[in-house]
């Protein structure tokens, strides 16, 4: 599998994770700030949450890591949580904004 194919599969895995309070996946919400595939198929994800007091702060990053680990060909996964820049609704995709009635 090429790096771009693996990246597509990782994005599919990330899109299967939803914020339990919002019926939109974390990718479309704009919670993923960076996604890198390193040699030997190590995956790095930098992400945020909708707020520092998010009740799912412990579960969403762990679920993302677990879903990525299930992707065939992935060697290792590192998920880093950041609050900089702070999350805003502007980070949502058009699809997410439509789904949530913001458009």
Nearest CA to 44 among 91, 70, 10, 19?
10
Query: So where are the chain's domains?
Result: 3-88
Place of tokens 């502007």: 90
Token pair recorded at residue 32: 């993923």
In this prediction, residue 55 carries a pLDDT of: 79
> Does residue 34 sit in helix, strand or coil?
strand
Return the structure tokens found at 75: 């060697």
Q: Which CATH number is 3-88's, of 3.40.50.880, 3.20.20.30, 3.30.300.130, 3.30.300.210?
A: 3.30.300.130
pLDDT digits (tens, 9 = 90+) for 21-63: 888 999 999 999 999 999 899 999 999 998 888 777 779 999 9
Query: Per-residue pLDDT tens for 63-80?
Result: 999 999 999 999 999 999
Question: Which of the 8 DSSP states describes residue 86?
Answer: P
């Amino acid at each position: 599998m090429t790096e771009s194919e693996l990246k597509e599969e990782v994005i599919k895995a990330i899109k299967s994770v939803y914020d339990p309070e919002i019926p939109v996946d974390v990718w479309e919400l704009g919670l993923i700030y960076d996604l890198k595939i390193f040699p030997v198929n190590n995956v790095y994800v930098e992400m945020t949450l909708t707020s520092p007091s998010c009740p799912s702060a412990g579960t969403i990053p762990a679920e993302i890591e677990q879903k990525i680990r299930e992707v065939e060909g992935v060697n290792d996964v590192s998920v880093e949580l950041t609050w900089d820049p702070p999350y805003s609704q502007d980070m949502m995709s058009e699809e997410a904004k439509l789904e949530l009635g913001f458009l």
